Structure 1
């Protein structure tokens, strides 16, 4: 789940389910795979706004690791070499979110935010996962209307019906089956973990360090489970629940919890005096939002340039979800997403002209939708029976009204062919104790409750640093010097807290406590 457009980036969808651990045949396929990829031939990167030091290369990998000698596909890989070669420790892989998120520019964009000591210690390396961006891409050839975020996430009808979700899910699954081709079928988290190991080999590194974010925490956890001997210092940031019986289906469900956890930050902002004030109290902001969403369910407002071209209740709910990804401590800065949402709500409430919508090219949306959906649908099987979805939606609309049943509704994966090449990997405590989780206490997409499940799965392999912050993304994103310091100390010096640690929102003084007592 990564940040959209902040939006295209959150297009993750977040879905899926099933059970089990990695099959013995998986290990056999790994053993059969070639172990010496051609070293990377670094050259100039295409694109604008990149650090001039960033280099790019292309790596060939098997399309199907069960047939390693068969067709090959391309991975686009990037790096910025250590700023101080004498201090270089190794390579730090920046694992992108999504699924469906591009990582190729990350050495430039996220690299600029890293402390100098980290940039000195590592070559910063990232990649576009298979199916994404400048790697061998995929597309389902979806209609423009099906590229809307309110289609990619299954927002029920105003009366709670999931009939439209069912029709959309069938239509999208059919389109992907017709147009996606064999590359689409090869996308999965297990394949990404194997791709990461091929990148490691091509870099000539015995071990990798990593900073995985959002969905990248799950991909990073799977890699650490499959290839523990090749992990060095492993940082997982904004952590997904690794439950192998649900995987992405559980991530989607977690939006209900995450939005309720984070909405109070927006409500506090929008109730303070100023141009952004919508009500006198946070409770008043909540009532205003729910009432306005219900009004827009019944009477949408035309919104030229948006997809769909109207502001209805579900579009407003999606706008809220997108907004809550932003760190709340920066809400008062000019142009913040909190301010943009307040402006939209005020305009809709008052009948004023709506602000211009953010829009992304259909081509980019096609790629993100296809790669994200396929990864999660190929990871696990979703239940096929539809009545349980309807019952869960009805219950969720009552217990979590801000998300109106979307997190438990039906997705294209319910209609995906069951052709899983690998069962989900169960994360366990087997392996080196070299994992550091960093997590915001309130996160709309990867809530704290789910992160605790990954922490428990790793057992003594991991420690967890929790920041008393709101938003999606922790390290060098939320402005918390305490949690940032712990991660930097670990990456640079290998120092990890002895126990799970809680960092207050103000100041740098940590509070240390046992798991679940933070």
Structure 2
């Protein structure tokens, strides 16, 4: 929910951030312009840049070996492939199995848009160790993200103010203030990133991936896309259907939706996750510390938010926990069932006047490190989303839709509805109402939907499968909770995905795991 109007906003990178000198990259020359023939200079990985979230260089791989990083040159403007270039940051873990069993590279995108693959892949490497037996595991910072010509907008202190603002305005004065904050943020993006802003669309990133495929030496792109990464994968398949190898789309974005429809769908998804959280807490044999019944849990949360709107409580000094920060913190904890215990503890503390845990969760969602530095997650998320999506909504549009959003979720609905204004006055026109992912002639693409996914609701998997076209998508359903399926460690899901990626065994479409 870094950009709450987008169903692909905020992804696994935020989970990694909780548990655990920007390189500009623009303006180079292509030389002879033969970019597919460039050689990557793989070296030990540096510590992540501030735009990537900061921290330490990645630790050695779980079963031995070191991470390697490199930089790939790509055209700034794909319509001028021999013009200026940008740097695309890459990371890889070499295949651990015998060389004669190696299939090639498996490229990951973990979502956002705006998440750094260079920092996320090492954080989740243990989950993919089986896939590493036959693939080099590869990820990257997409253009506009991290160390790949990062979009820059506001400073750390300005972002602290931005994330403390009242994102659920109740009267004209609050609406005007909210609009002015959005306009200031968007103007800062244009001022600080004018050169790269027109060139961060998903279609640009897809073309980067095809160049990456060639530079890595692969005839086909083997791909694992999660959350927004499923949209990127679908767009790639549309542009390069004959280049698709073995591809998996997990936590699937509905490619048929407008931003408004996506926001409403995500509102319903987070409400479903909150309902499931409340049911889980109150159904245990031990007493639920945050409510006696499911409805009591939700009523107490609603009262907390109403109280915070009037009077914030201490959060992480010197900041206070506002209504907006609390909503973000609650949303972050619903991305994974593993985080429900943090939500329970955070709510307990907040009821006693201590907002630290909910603010920590909110910071994680927004890409803020413990030392107060922000990654460029929000900047990149906004830039990519607003460049992709054509609609530009007004306050009249939001007010007209508010009743429908409130009906979908009294807690998340208004917040998500007002988030639709994030592209107001954006400097670059949006490309389309929704992405084109039709991919006739593509190899089979495994599409995995989770019935309890809050951020990319389950219905999106079917819509993606239909949009890819007849004979392309193979559907797999996981009856679970949280954002995504493979990383839930469900054995049934992992067997199906591993069987396809490692051995080429295409599961029966319509299979169900629970």
Pairing 1:193-232 to 2, within 5 Å after superposition = 193-232=206-245
Q: 1:123 to 1:149 in 2, by over 3 A?
A: farther
- Taking a change above 3 Å as real, the CA distance of residues 352 and 389 of structure 1, as seen in their structure-2 partners, is closer
Task: Indicate how the Cα distance of structure 1 residues 216 and 302 shifts in structure 2: closer, same or farther if over 3 A, else same.
Answer: same
Write the distance in 2 (CA, Å) between the matches of 1:227 and 1:72: 22
SS of alignment partner, residue 297 of structure 2:
helix
Q: Which residue of 2 aligns with 1:395?
A: 404
- The two structures have a TM-score, normalised by structure 2, of 0.83
Gaps of 5+ in 2: 1-8, 19-32, 48-56
| Matched ranges for 1:400-419 at <5 A | 400-409=409-418, 410-419=420-429
Query: Does the CA-based 8 Å contact 1:276-1:343 persist in structure 2?
Result: no
Q: Is the 8 A contact 2:116 2:146 kept in 1?
A: yes
How far off its partner does 1:158 sit?
4.9
CA deviations over 1:399-442 (Å, ceiling 9, x no partner)? 31120412222333121134457886412251224100112111
Whether the 8 Å CA contact 2:394–2:421 is kept in 1: the answer is: no
Task: Give, in angstroms, the shift of residue 7 of structure 1.
Answer: 8.3
Distance in 2 between the 1:6 and 1:106 partners?
9
The equivalences for 1:460-479 within 5 A come to: 460-475=471-486, 477-479=487-489
CA distance in 1, matches of 2:353, 2:434: 49
Please say if 1:452 is aligned against 2:454. Answer: no
The aligned residue for residue 379 of structure 2 is 370
Change (3 A) 1:351 1:91: closer
The answer to whether the Cα contact below 8 Å between 2:333 and 2:343 also exists between their aligned partners in 1 is yes
CA deviations 1:188-210 (Å, max 9, x no partner) are 10110011111111111111111
Q: TM (normalized to structure 1)?
A: 0.83
Equivalent residue pairs, number: 467
> Does structure 1 residue 443 correspond to structure 2 residue 445?
no
Question: 5+ residue gaps in structure 1?
Answer: 10-32, 331-336, 505-518
Aligned CA distance change for structure 1 residues 215 and 147 (closer, same or farther; 3 Å): farther
Match of 2:90 in 1: 77
Using the alignment, how far apart are the partners of 2:43 and 2:234 within structure 1? 30
Distance 2:244 2:306 in 1: 49
Q: Structure 1 residues 262, 181: CA separation in 2 closer, same or farther (over 3 Å shift)?
A: same
Structure 2 match to 1:238 = 251
The answer (yes or no) to whether the contact 1:225–1:431 under 8 Å persists in 2 is no
Tell me which of 65, 74, 77 is aligned to 1:64: 77
More off after superposition, 209-218 vs 433-442: 433-442
Following superposition of structure 1 onto structure 2, how do residues 245-284 of structure 1 map, counting pairs within 5 Å?
A: 246=258, 248-271=259-282, 272-274=284-286, 277-284=289-296
SS of the equivalent of 1:182 reads coil
Cα deviations by residue, 1:221-269 (Å, 9 ceiling, x for unpaired): 10111011111101011011112x62x5544333211111211221123
| Superposed displacement of residue 54, structure 1 | 1.6
Q: Does structure 2 retain, via aligned residues, the 8 Å contact 1:111–1:119? A: no
* Closer, same or farther: CA 78–418 of 1 in aligned 2, 3 Å: closer
Partners of 1:443 and 1:471 within 8 A in 2:
yes
Query: 1: CA distance between counterparts of 2:278 and 2:204?
Result: 41
Q: Distance in 2 between matches of 1:383 and 1:55?
A: 41
Distance 2:120 2:286 in 1: 36
Using the alignment, how far apart are the partners of 1:484 and 1:470 within structure 2?
A: 16
Q: Which one of 109, 116, 121 corresponds to residue 123 of structure 2?
A: 109
Distance verdict in 2 for CA 1:35–1:431, change over 3 Å: farther
Distance across 2 between alignment mates of 1:228 and 1:463:
15
**Aligned 1:498-513 pairs, distance under 5 A:** 498-504=508-514
What secondary structure is seen at the aligned counterpart in 2 of 1:129? coil
In the alignment, which residue of structure 1 is the partner of 2:24? none
Local SS of the residue matching 1:415:
coil
* CA deviation map 1:305-327 (0-9, x unaligned): 37xx222333222211100001x
How far does residue 364 in structure 1 lie from its aligned partner after superposition?
5.3
Aligned twin of 1:38: 38
CA 1:147/1:219 → structure 2, altered by over 3 Å: closer, same or farther?
farther
Corresponding residue to 1:176 among 167, 189, 192: 189
Which piece of structure 1 moves more, 187-196 or 170-179? 170-179
Question: Do the aligned partners of residues 304 and 282 (structure 1) sit closer, same or farther apart at CA in structure 2, a change above 3 Å counting?
Answer: same
Q: CA RMSD in A?
A: 2.7
Secondary structure at 1:65 match in 2: coil
Structure-2 separation of matches of 1:356 and 1:262 = 17
Q: Cα gap change, 1:352/1:408 in structure 2, threshold over 3 Å: closer, same or farther? A: closer
Q: Are 1:300 and 2:302 an aligned pair?
A: no
Closer, same or farther: CA 463–115 of 1 in aligned 2, 3 Å: same
